[in-house]
Structure 1
Amino acid sequence: MDTPLRLEVIVASVRQGRFAPVVADWFLRTARADDRFDVGVIDLLHTPLPTDLSETPEVEAFRERLSAAAAFVVVTSEYNHGYPASLKTALDSAKREWRAKPIGFVGYGGLSGGLRAIEQLRQVVAEVHMVSIRESVSFHQAKRAFDADGETRDGAAIDAAQRLLRQLAWWAAHLREARIADPYPG
């Protein structure tokens, strides 16, 4: 298939004064420069998902976006060695829509750069039958990693983003073909 892969970038933090837009905007510029992807954004700050996991029109719209996607990247902060509650609600608000699709991670934070949150997320996404991309992007001391224009000179992160996108495109293309030829039995 020659059609671009629909990639939804999920911005996890909803905290007031969050740094997420800086990291997400940088990654979005990087992903949108890759013509293998048609990139969208699901910012959980603007996606009202009920924490009691009830059915609402917003949940249905969210699930429709997930269904149409071939791949996902989560941009996540790390709070208290974990990922934001808003992201757990998002993951729990859908089921079949996640299955047999790849997901990558861009983490940011203090000393750990969001890596502890990413490792926890790998366990959760496995449970919903997703394929976690091994390569991840991590920004340690994130506020120091970006200039006033939202750009970074962090060569390791820039390189990791390119590797992440290459791996994500491979998995997304092959899993899309597999889901068409033989729907996932989960």
Structure 2
Amino acid sequence: MAKLRKMLGNINDEVIVKLMRVIETQSKETISLWAVNYVEKNILNIYEEESNDQLRLREVISATKEYLSGNIKLKEIKEALREVKAIPKEVEENPVAQASARAILTACGTVQTPTNALGFTFYAVAAIVYNQVGLKEKIETYDELAANEFVKVLESLQEVAVENEVNPVKISWNC
């Protein structure tokens, strides 16, 4: 059995580089909403199946969406994120739940830190792949499945990307 990695993917992979380029063309609001919707649709159910905690991450996703809709202030979303930041440590005995929790928290954190729009995807792909095939596969199996998932991640962003978005984020990738 390969030692499990917290994240799957390679920053130099062609698909991930394309993902970065699309992120760079979008506003913080667009990438934040994409990230939150992505984890709500693809990751939250994995976390809830793997954890006894059925509400906290669902609530932080909801709060993030409320912030993006202008219904709550940044201070409130920061507090909501602070209240749940220990969840990945609480579920560290379960790599699927932990990767899911990290993906959700990182995606929600995109409202503060636009580079999280890329960061959450590495955790999300790990959660999806580990959930699909379990925790005892060869590293090559995980890498192959991760590459396929990153194509889906890129496609999901391309579906919501705004052409010629007026106020794209200014990102300095430190990876």
Q: TM-score, normalised by structure 1?
A: 0.33
Q: Looking at secondary structure, tell me which structure has more strand per residue.
A: 1
Q: Looking at secondary structure, tell me which structure has more helix per residue.
A: 2
- Larger relative contact order (Cα-Cα within 8 Å, sequence gap ≥ 6): 2
Q: TM-score, normalised by structure 2?
A: 0.35
